[in-house]
Amino acid sequence: MEILGIDIGFGFTKATNGNESLVFKSVFGEATDVQFRELILADAAQDEHLQIDVDGKSYFLGELAERQSNVRFFTLDQGQFIAKFAKILALAAAARLVGGHIPINLVTGLPIGYYQKYKKDVAAILRGEHRVVLTDAAGQTKEKIININKVRVIPQPFGSMFNLMLNDLGELGDKRLVKEKIGIIDVGFRTSDYTISDKMRYSERGSRTTDSGIARAFNVIATKLREESGVNVELYRLYDAVDRGFIKIRGKEYDLKELTEQVFSQLASTVANEVDRLWADDWDIDTMVITGGGGAVLAKYLSPLLKGHVLPVDDASDARLNNVYGYRKFGKHLWARGVVPAPAKT
């Protein structure tokens, strides 16, 4: 049995089997025949080639779809995301990380605000036997049977909480956190999730999903670029540009540093205000945790605005993986606690 953690996010899909992790943009497109599959130069960067056939249709995913597909699919609508995106993205991740025919127990998450409405739908979409075909960068195909035996759907920010509290065997690691009241701020691409763990008890009063994700800041940047250049830049094509601090459109360079600082500061202020309102009665929180890919981006703007002790963000780790690491640890806790994982394949 293989235990997987998969986080199907609006911005990125993240997955881990404990030995290997995978992150790719939650974008897919129709697969096309690529006439020339070799690198133009040997020193060119080798991207992850994600191509999968699901239900008789062939798709490119992530960077491959962005570069090669004529028609690309990306959404910030939760209902559409569950109905049309979740299965393709999750199976692509699972197919990359596990062998065929091996039973899989899977843990995934949903934003708190959508948890009750969609948890059964997500489990039903993913559970069962799925026949897929993977195509590698050389055009070689391999058929796999993805057998998902059990699916556990949990509120999304619980992943970061379990990642802090559990070790890789699914056992309690940091017992101090188990005894404390912890506020978790999980900033994603589309949403921000807030929840409280009070000595391992969930607080409904202190938990909520809002629309204050990184996409709100990216929308402002995209609007400004459209006004100045006349080009509508897709949000998923802004990640690298924001990191670099500039973008080139039709040969002209647009500086993004000042605008990025401004919109991220505004978004951090919005998130801090939401925390103040939501946790007004929870003045006894011991520790606040900023997590998620968006959390890592906003941390330097957000931390000074929060009232209380904030756990420092580890710059050496990829915060996008915090939830998915926790999902897998929780899976170990549920189904294989204390079982030493097999060594990674070489």
Q: What is the pLDDT of residues 163-180, one digit of tens each?
A: 988 999 888 887 777 889
Say whether pTM exceeds 0.75. yes
What percent of the chain stands above pLDDT 70?
Answer: 93
Lowest mean pLDDT among 39-43, 153-157, 323-327: 39-43
Rounded distance between C-alpha atoms, residue 156 and residue 305, angstroms:
24
Rounded distance between C-alpha atoms, residue 48 and residue 63, angstroms:
8
pLDDT tens digits, 51-74: 999 999 999 999 999 988 989 999
pLDDT at 177: 79
Both tokens of 92, joined, read 């692509």
pLDDT band at 34 (very low <50, low <70, confident <90, very high): low
What's the whole-number mean pLDDT along residues 19-38?
Answer: 81
pLDDT tops 60 at residue 146: yes
Q: Taking all residues of the chain, what is their mean pLDDT, rounded to a whole number?
A: 90
Measured CA to CA in angstroms, residue 1 lies from 105, 169, 332 at distances of 7, 15, 11
- Answer for the pair 218, 242: CB distance below 8 angstroms, yes or no: yes
pLDDT tens digits, 267-307: 999 999 999 999 999 999 999 999 999 999 999 999 999 99
Ramachandran sector of residue 217 (left: φ over 0; alpha: ψ -120 to 50; beta: rest): alpha
pLDDT band at 48 (very low <50, low <70, confident <90, very high): confident
Lowest mean pLDDT among 20-24, 107-111, 173-177, 321-325: 173-177
pLDDT tops 80 at residue 46: no
Cβ-Cβ contacts under 8 Å for 282 (sequence gap 6 or more): 181, 183, 196, 203, 205, 206
Both tokens of 214, joined, read 């990184």
**In sequence order, which ranges of 141-197 are alpha helices (DSSP H)?**
158-165, 175-178
Q: What is the DSSP string of 249-262?
A: ETTEEEE-HHHHHH
pLDDT at 40: 41
Nearest to 92 by CA among 112, 63, 121: 63
pLDDT at 344: 41
Measured CA to CA in angstroms, residue 46 lies from 59, 92, 111 at distances of 19, 19, 33
Task: Give the up-direction half-sphere exposure of residue 268: CA atoms within 13 A in the CB hemisphere.
Answer: 19
pLDDT at 340: 52
Quote the Cα angle for 164-166-171, to 5°: 165
Which residue type sits at 162?
F
pLDDT tens digits, 195-252: 999 988 889 999 999 999 999 999 999 999 999 999 999 999 999 999 999 999 999 9
Nearest to 55 by CA among 76, 98, 84: 84
* Residue 119: other Cβ atoms inside 10 A: 18
Both tokens of 339, joined, read 């079982």
pLDDT at 200: 83
pLDDT at 186: 96
pLDDT at 178: 81
**In what helix (H) or strand (E) does residue 122 lie, and over which residues does it extend?**
helix 112-126
Both tokens of 201, joined, read 């008890």
pLDDT tops 70 at residue 120: yes
pLDDT at 102: 84
Both tokens of 114, joined, read 């959508």
Residue 71 CB-density burial (10 A; 0-12 exposed, 13-18 middle, 19+ buried): exposed
What's the whole-number mean pLDDT along residues 8-18?
Answer: 95
Rounded distance between C-alpha atoms, residue 101 and residue 146, angstroms:
6
Residue in the block written with tokens 């991220």: 264
Q: Is 186 helix (H, G, I), strand (E, B) or coil?
A: strand
pLDDT tens digits, 316-339: 788 899 999 999 999 999 998 766
Q: Name which residue leads in pLDDT, 312 or 277.
A: 277
What's the whole-number mean pLDDT along residues 93-115?
Answer: 91
pLDDT band at 36 (very low <50, low <70, confident <90, very high): very low
pLDDT at 32: 82
